Structure formats: C-alpha cells, structure tokens
Structure 1
Amino acid sequence: MTLPSWPASVRGMLLILLLPVGIGLMALAWFIHGVLLERMSRDFVESRLEDEVAFLEHQIRESDGQVDTLRTGDYFQEVFHHAFAIAALSQQTVSPEPWAPLLEPLLAEDGEGAVSVRDAGVSGAPSDILAYRRSFTVDGVPVTVIVAEDMEALQNSQAELHAWTAAVSVLLILLLVAGIWLAITLALRPVLSLQAALRKLQAGETSRINVRSPEEFRPLVRQLNQLLDSLDHRLERSRDALANLSHSVKTPIAAIRQVLEDTRRPLDDELRREMATRLVDIDRQLEAEMRRSRFAGPQVGKSAFPVKQARDLLWMLGRLYPQKSFELATELRHEHRWPIEEQDLNEILGNLLDNAGKWSSRCVELSLVESRQQMQIIVSDDGPGVADDVIGQLGQRGVRLDEQTPGHGLGLAIVLDIVRRYHGETRFLPGSRGGLEVRVTIPSPVFNAASALAAWPG
C-alpha cells in the first residue's frame, strides 16, 4: 500500500492543509451555534414562564383565592400567548381546553420548577411542551399554577434559523477558500521575485541575488550568495595558483633547459646537483599549490568531527615524536561536529601540531573549545618560543611557502589562508609554558546567521 504523496506545489499543499481545517472549524461553529441556540431559547422561555406564573400568583392572591373570578374569557391566553392551568381544591381551570390531557397530570404532581413533556401524542395538543409549575397557599387554600409553552413551534423556528446559519456558513466557506487562495498568492510573491533574480543570475545580468525576501527565505538567499562567493573564490584561487605556478617554475625550468642545451659543458656531478636542486624547487612549488587548491573553505552541509580528527593526529604525531607528549583538553563529545570541511580542519590541526611537536621540549597541548559565538583551536608547546619582535612576522608571505624548512613558520601561511576563508582569526602569543601558543578562532555559522537576520533592513 502506497501512501499518497504531497503535491509538488506549495500552494496546493497549503490548500490541502488549510481547507479541511477551515471547513472543520466552520462545521464545529455551526454545531455549537445549534446547541447554544437551543439552550438560550429554553432558558428564555423558562424565564418567561416563571414571570407569568408569578403574575398569575399575584392575581390569585388579589382575588383571595377565588379562581372563578379570573375566568374572563381568553384574557390570560391573549395576554400571555401561553397555555395555563390552575387548581385550587376541587376547582381546575385549563386554557386552552385541548391542552387539558397534558396539563392536568402535571397539576397532580409534586414539586416546583420547569417540567418537559415530549412525544405526548395527544390529539389537538402539541407533542413537546415546556411548563413551569408553582404551588402556594392563599388563606390556607393550596393552589397550583402551571404555564406551558409549545416547544414544537419554537423548535421549527430554531430549525429555520439554523438552516439559514448553515447557508451563511457555506457562503463563508467559499469566502474562506478565496481568502486562503489570495493569502497564499500574496505570501508566495517573494518566490516570484527570487525566481526572477535567479533568471537574471543565469543570464549573467547580475552576479549576486539581491532581493528583499521574508525572514523564512533569508537563510536560503544568504546560502546561495555564499555558494556563489565560494565558487568565485575557487575560480580566483585556481587562476592565482596557475599564475604563481607559472611564475615560480619558469626560472628553474629555464635554468635546467640552459644546462641541457649547453653542449660545451660536460654534465658533471656539480651540474647534476644543480639540476636536482632546480627540480626540487619545482616539486615544492607544485606540492604547495596542489595543497592550497584542496582547501574548500566554508561549504553548506560539510562538517568534521574535531575530537576524532584531533585524537588521530595526536596518535600519529606521538609515534613520529616518541620522546614527546601530546595532550588533548576538550569538553566536546566524540560525535560532536564542527561546520568545517574535513580536509581544511585536518590541515589546520596537522600544521599547528607538527610545528609544536618539532619545537617542543617535552609536551604539546591541544585545546578544542566551542561557544555559541565561536570555535577555538589552541595549540601550545613548552619549547624555546619566539621573540616578541618577530612573533608578528609568523605566517607572512615574504617568501613562497617552503614546507621543508623546520621551525614555527612551517605551514603557518597555509593555516592563515584557511582560517581567513572561514572569516576567522589566528593569533600568535607567548605560551604559558614558555613556548609558543597559537590561538585559532572561527565564528560559528549559527551566530553569523542570527547577526545577519538582525541586521537585515526592514
């Protein structure tokens, strides 16, 4: 058995969800209207009957209990428009007379208040009545008074009113459908502007999506623009890498070519070493540019496990430097994720830990810290440290990256490049153990999203 699929249209899905709710609420309101109408009508009739019984009691007391003196034709019936019955000793008065089979049994009962009679089946009398009975004494003579209302006629009037209410409800449902359709159409207008912006982007008329969108669409627009920025950065990095590589290898290749084309000089050991040096330079430049091309930068949906990667790197470096201790300090869980591409995080941790391992005396400590605003990577060692006057030069590109030279400068330019792509910051500080402390701070994407929404105009 296959379940029905949701419609592909947002408008269709909203109509399917909202229309049954609206119709259900309208039907519930109609049902509640019927119940309340019946309850209010009964309370109103009962209140009137009680007032008329009080009036009859007053008239009987004024006549000193002489019921016969109240027989003035159809006076009470014309005044009250209700049937009534009066019993005093052996005297009984019922008006109109066809109601006598319904009201006389009520005169013989005890108790006071409202009494209902349903499905009586008396010829000439209504089947459903509501009566109000009261007993009192006048000069020691017990008197019972009953006033009754034909509920069948009232119920017919209520049914007619309820039917009109149903007709109005159907009209309101049609208006509700039109209102929902109009509201959905107006709510989806930003989607049309977003589609138009995407068409302009595809046609090359614009390079970014610049539309005023509702709060729900702002993360989508921001992520699309970030994707476009990432693609532009990658294209720019590729072009820069090709330009750098072309510029860097041109001189070594020209020198090797000159040596090979110079037939007057024998290819002795010194020339071989010179050619090998040139080839090593070319290999270094190729490796550096290839590593830099692998850096992804911020990408939607990409994440890494910082604790797992840190432990793997610490284990490997512990085998590479067996005489030194590598420690991890963090409160993050093993399965916790960071929104950083795995290769980028591996380059940051690997370069920083390798530098610290080379220059430390006995111990290297890695700390992973996360708050709502940022993520931090702190690497400190107990080595000789870096002088204050040159600590600010760490990671600068005065020279192209040379990853075979030992020291704290190894790979730091790569770290700085990756961190900048995540809009982060890298600081070099004197360590608490006397060595160097490198503190990498990367802002959290959740915090950036909240800040962007707060700063959005309008």
Structure 2
Amino acid sequence: MTASAGSIIQRFRAAIRHSLAARLLTIAVVSVFGLVLMGWIAHAQFNAQLLRLLIDPEIESVADDLIGNAGPGLSDELILRDLPYDPRYLQPLSGRYFQIALVRGDGRLQTQTISPSLVDAEIRLPPNVLREIAAARPGDGARYFSINGPDGGDLRIVTRLEAIPEVEGRYVFVVGVATAAILAPAANLVGWAFAVFVIFCALMVAAVSVLQVRIGLEPLHELQRDIAAVRRGDADRLDGDYPAEIQPVTDELNALVDHNREVVERARRHVGNLAHALKTPIAVLKNAAASGGEDAVMKQSIEEMEAFVERQLRRARVAARAEASAGATIAYRTPVLQNLEDLVFMMEQKYDSTKAMDISIEAETDVTFRGEREDLLEMAANLIDNACKYGASQVIVRLLPAFDSKGLFEIVVEDDGPGLSDAEIARAMERGARLDEAAPGQGLGLSILQETVELYAGELIFERGQLGGLKARLRLPATD
C-alpha cells in the first residue's frame, strides 16, 4: 500500500468517525456497488440459462442424428449415411459445425469426418476434455462446454463418445454452435433491462440516502438549534419534541444545564456568605486601627487584606458564572451599548469635579455580550476609569461588532494621555505591578481584568492610540 493510498484511507476513516452523513452515504455507495455486482451475476446466470435452454437441446439433437446416421463403409471405416438436416452445417463458417474423430489407443484424436461448414479447419478440444474422453467409456453421456470457435467467437460444444456397431474403435462426436448470433438479441434486451433495473435501484438508494441525511438527521439539527438557543439565553431548557433515540441525550443535556445553574447559584450563595463573614471583621479592624491613632502599618495591612478579599470574591463570582472550558456562559445575554452609555455617564459624574474630560461613544450598532452584565460593567469600567484617570482631556469609547470567525465583538477605549511603552504594558499586566505609585489602589485592577477576559475566552490588547495615549482593545464573545 502506497503512502497516498494510506492517507486516503486515514481521511476516509476520520470522515466515517466524525460524520453520520458520511456513514449513511458510505452505506449507500456500498449498496449501489452490491446492486451492480448482483446485476452482473444475474446477467451471467441468465446467459448460462439461455445456453442450456436454447443451444444445448439443438446440438444434442444434431449429435443424436450424427450417431444414428453413422455406420460402416466398404472398408469397415466409419461413414455418415446422411448429413444433418440443417443446411447451415453445409455453409462455410456458418456457425454450425460438427466433427467425428477416432480415439486412438494413446488417447489422441484422429479426425475422420468434418462438416463442410468447417472448410479446412478443425474443432480443437481443450486438454482437460481430451483427458476425460480418453478415460471415458462409450455411452457415458454428453459433455457441454464453451471454446473459441474457428470464426473467433464463443462456440458451444457437446461431445458424445460412442461405439458404432460393425465399426472398430471408439468415436467422439463433436457438435458446436456459435452462440453470438443466437444469444445476442436476447442478451442485449436482458442486458438493457438489467442496466435499467440497476440504475433505477441505484437512484432509489441515492434518493433514500439523501432523505435519510436531510430528514433522518433533521432532529439532530433541531437539537443543535435548541442548544444554541439555550446558550444564547433565548431558552432555559431543551423542550423540543425529539425522537426516542435522541430523547435520552436531551434529558442528559437538560440535567447538565440544571446542574450548571445549581452550581452557579450555590457559588453565588457561598460568595455572599463569605463576603458577609469577612467584611464585618475587617470593618471592625479598620475602626480599631483608626481609633488607635498613628498605627499606619496596621492600617495598611488591613487595607491590603480588604483588597485581597475583594479580589478573591470577584474572582469566585466570575469563575462560578463562566464556563472555563468554552469561555461562555449558559443563558446570559447582555446588551452592550446601553451599559457603555451608563458607564460613560457615571465616569463623567465622577471626574467632573476634578478635570475637564470629554468622554464620547462611537457605535454603528448594538451587540449582545454572551455573559453577565456585572462582568461586562466591571471589565469596561476598569478600562474607561484608567483612561479617564491618565488621559489629558479626551477619551473615546468605540463599540465594534463581531468581525471574524471567532465571534468576538470589540470595545476600544482610547485616551490622549502619555500612554505606555511595550515594557510598561507588560509590567501593567503583571499581578500587583503598578506604574504610577502615586495613584490610589492596590495594583490589582488590570490583572483581575485579564483573568476575567480569559475566563470568557476573550482578548485584551494594548497599543499606541491615534490620540497619542493608550489604546485598549477588549474583545469578548458575542451572541445573536
């Protein structure tokens, strides 16, 4: 087997494993080949039956006539008192032939008489037939077979070994008829009939296969659409009317969706309990530190602990809602444009008293985020807040719809501040790293943002913007 043939076989096996349609089409192709093979076998059997029904009785009758007309001559040699009644045995190469030969003691044949239709040719019997004749006894019966005739076509032969009274020796009587002229009309008619039948069956198999692929597999396409509806949030469960073979799968998927929702709710409850359990002791410690006076170290430690707890709570909430493997949530759909407008309004109120900041939104159309609103607000707010904090006077927020096969829409936040170098961008994405030590905060915002983006299988890219400052591109999964 060559490497190319092995590669084709491997691709075929992969297609069979991964496609039900490929399996059904393969069965159809095998069925068509089976029909063609059966048609060919049936045609061959039909031709064989025609030989036995149309030709064998004729040559058997001629052989009986030759044996009945054989007798001794003046020198006790074998002669024919009369030729066959069919005049075609007298016409040269007419397709009707006979031959009489003496079987010598060594098993060889010595031709005695040939039909005028053979002219100067002879019927040459195969070696296996000669051996059978040499070992046979007179009257053993007729032998039928086919050989190449003197005119080049198939010749149906009958041989009879007989002993003629008053004639010494054993004689073999050979009669042959060319089959083409007799079988051709019937064979052509039957051949066309078989061809039409096989073509009809092949078309029927192909039509049935197409119907199986289109109609038989339609419940799977319906299941796919319903699953997509659940993923987009248009439906809570798979409630379609599915066939009995698919219903167990839908039941398991519904159980998985219910289990996922239960896990999410349980994680939220645990997060809420943890928040209530930790925030109160931390508040007590903060008050104690504030009343203690100048204990700056204790106050800083408590603030760091509070920031760490807040970060862990935020991560736990996001991880409970996001599917880490696929980067998408089940049954969450969040419009983006309105939430961005709300964020811009909040930022304008926040920075109105400290700096004159022009924040604008550019969007051709609205898109829908495949996730929860709180996560979208948290990620977008982080970028817009940083742009307002470090921008000089202008921030532009752009909303771009999904533009590639990944199905990710894009939120672009650009400011006219000093921007960041490549090395500073790399440092900004490190956990806890800070470029501006004078600004308030614990340096966890960008790293938490990056982790949240990764949970949604999104992308976060920083580069130099057209306004001269930093340009942040946040790509997140969109849904219909």
Same fold (TM over 0.5): no
TM-score normalised by the chain length of structure 1: 0.42
Task: Give the TM-score taking structure 2 as reference length.
Answer: 0.41
